[in-house]
Amino acid sequence: MEPKRTDPLSFAVRGLTALIQLAIPVAIALVTVFNEGKLTGLLFLVPIVLAVIGGNFLVAYLQWLRFNYVTGENDIRVESGVISRAARSVPYERIQDVSLEQKLVPRLFGLVEVRFETGAGGKDELKLAYLREAEGEKLRQLVRER
């Protein structure tokens, strides 16, 4: 089988999620700059904030670019890693459940996170973030049939 990637919008979801997490620290910094009355602080703050936001989107894009999965005859294989590559494989017989999760930001884009639960210490063995909902359902059905 050919390696597949997660949905191209998944890097945008990761970037937006990071942006939301940055909102409070950035708001605090802006309030501090305005309260001190030093608007020249904006000359330093704005480029830093833009660089951090751009960096988050770049990292999210590289993670998406370097992540792929294969649904093989006997297992699901995932390769990931921007700097160093890691490969994981889970045989279908070890997968106890496949769940589709939709948090707020991915839901806005019609995406789901697919989790393959193996029962190995209550931890998910594999996670695919993010696929279109229909693709996630197809993957869940494929695993359940095997």
pLDDT digits (tens, 9 = 90+) for 55-87: 989 999 999 999 999 999 999 999 999 999 999
Query: Confidence band (pLDDT; 50, 70, 90) for 119?
Result: confident
pLDDT of 123: 62
Please state which of the ranges 48-52, 65-69, 104-108, 120-124 shows the lowest mean pLDDT.
120-124
pLDDT of 122: 59
Does 99 or 30 have the greater pLDDT score?
Answer: 99
Write the CB contacts of 112 (distance below 8 Å, at least 6 apart in sequence). Answer: 100, 101, 102, 106, 130, 131, 132, 133, 136
State the chain's mean pLDDT as an integer.
Answer: 89
pTM for the full predicted model: 0.81
Q: Where are the domains of the chain?
A: 10-64, 70-145
Residues 106 and 123: beta-carbon distance below 8 Å: no
Gyration radius (Cα) of the chain, Å: 19
pLDDT digits (tens, 9 = 90+) for 15-46: 889 888 888 888 888 888 888 877 777 788 88
